[in-house]
């Protein structure tokens, strides 16, 4: 990505930053009914300039409290700032249900990098290890919003074709890496529950020890393929602590 591609740069940088920064002036809290959703009471809606926003709506599905999501050529996320030190990272629990994949999506390609579900984790780290390009991206982010981008972002994703356990490096920057936890159509239309070792997954994706976890988000996007996507998310939990609750 180069500076002259301003629209792409802005959207990409804001996506990189979304999990770690304070809520900007153009962000909105998800509807007042959301506090009835276990695990999402304090999550906030991050809207990307120039992008249609994905709909995140609280509700009930098959006995579960959920956030129902619909993306129509859109991209935005629900996010929550946290701080969990490296020695306390432990396990992450989350669940989702997806009725259909995005047919043309390919998470390894800039122009089709959409996903019906994502869990997004942002981490601190030693920015001295960044490339020149990543330092430029962070400077651009700081200039545009007053906040730097996270040191590293790990996403749990559902991929159309790649096998679970695959790591996809973001085509714009290697500071975003996607770990495939589900693939293909075999598990559509059913609830899938996951328990993930945050440290182990970070080391698999980045080849280094993680820093503190400073942000988490859920995200459904279809802006690149101009498609429609639906999904349901259950609560996101760290051990017995709901990440959306304040200590």
The neighbour count for residue 60, using CB atoms within 10 Å, is 11
63-114: pLDDT as tens digits: 888 999 999 999 999 988 888 999 999 999 999 999 999 999 999 998 999 9
Q: Residue 18 has what pLDDT?
A: 46
Token pair of 195, please?
């328990």
C-alpha dihedral sign at 155, 161, 165, 169: negative
Q: Which domain holds residue 188?
A: 6-242
Cβ contact 178:39 at 8 Å? no
Q: What is the mean pLDDT of the chain?
A: 82
DSSP 190: S
Q: Let me know if residue 1 belongs to a domain.
A: no
Q: Residue 232 has what pLDDT?
A: 97
- Give the best-scoring range by mean pLDDT among 85-89, 169-173, 239-243: 85-89
Q: Residue 140 has what pLDDT?
A: 81
Give 86 or 38, the one with higher predicted confidence: 86
Q: Let me know if residue 22 belongs to a domain.
A: yes
Model confidence at 242, in pLDDT bands (50, 70, 90)?
low
* Whether pTM exceeds 0.85: no
Residue 31 has pLDDT above 50, yes or no: no
Q: Of the given ranges (22-26, 106-110, 209-213, 240-244), which has the lowest mean pLDDT?
A: 22-26
> Which residues 6+ apart lie within 8 Å of 63 measured at CB?
none
Q: Residue 233 has what pLDDT?
A: 96
Q: Cα 20–23–24 angle (5° rounding)? A: 115
Q: Let me know if residue 209 belongs to a domain.
A: yes
C-alpha dihedral sign at 60, 63, 66, 72: negative
Longest dimension (CA), the chain: 49
Calpha distance 80→99 (Å, rounded): 26
Model confidence at 243, in pLDDT bands (50, 70, 90)?
low
Q: Report the CATH number at residue 180.
A: 2.60.120
Q: In the chain, pLDDT over 70 holds for what percent of residues? A: 78
Q: Let me know if residue 199 belongs to a domain.
A: yes
Q: Residue 21 has what pLDDT?
A: 39
DSSP 49: T
Model confidence at 24, in pLDDT bands (50, 70, 90)?
very low
Q: Let me know if residue 103 belongs to a domain.
A: yes
Calpha distance 102→184 (Å, rounded): 11
130-162: pLDDT as tens digits: 888 888 887 887 776 566 788 999 999 999 999
Q: Let me know if residue 72 belongs to a domain.
A: yes
Calpha distance 107→115 (Å, rounded): 7
The number of domains in the chain is 1
Model confidence at 227, in pLDDT bands (50, 70, 90)?
very high
Q: Let me know if residue 185 belongs to a domain.
A: yes
Across 20-24, average pLDDT: 39
Q: Let me know if residue 247 belongs to a domain.
A: no
Q: Residue 9 has what pLDDT?
A: 40
């Amino acid at each position: 990505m180069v500076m002259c591609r301003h629209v792409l740069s802005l959207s990409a940088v804001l996506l990189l930053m979304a999990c770690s920064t304070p809520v900007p002036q153009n962000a909105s809290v998800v509807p007042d009914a959301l506090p009835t959703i276990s695990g999402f009471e304090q999550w906030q809606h991050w809207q990307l300039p120039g992008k249609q926003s994905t709909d995140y709506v609280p509700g009930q599905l098959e006995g579960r409290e959920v956030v129902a999501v619909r993306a129509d050529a859109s991209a935005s996320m629900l996010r929550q700032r946290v701080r969990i030190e490296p020695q306390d990272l432990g396990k992450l629990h989350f669940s989702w249900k997806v009725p259909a994949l995005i047919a043309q999506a390919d998470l390894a390609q800039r122009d089709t990098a959409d996903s019906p579900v994502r869990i997004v984790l942002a981490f601190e780290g030693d920015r001295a290890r960044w490339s020149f390009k990543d330092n430029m991206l962070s400077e651009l982010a700081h200039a545009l919003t007053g906040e730097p981008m996270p040191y590293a972002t790990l996403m749990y994703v559902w991929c159309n074709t790649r096998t679970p356990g695959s790591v996809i490096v973001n085509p714009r920057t290697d500071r975003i890496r996607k770990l495939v936890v589900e693939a293909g159509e075999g598990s559509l239309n059913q609830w899938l529950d996951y328990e993930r070792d945050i440290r182990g997954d970070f080391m698999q994706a980045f080849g280094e020890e993680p820093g503190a976890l400073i942000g988490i988000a859920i995200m459904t996007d279809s802006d690149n393929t101009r498609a429609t996507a639906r999904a349901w998310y259950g609560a996101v939990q760290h051990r017995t602590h709901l990440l959306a609750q304040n200590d």
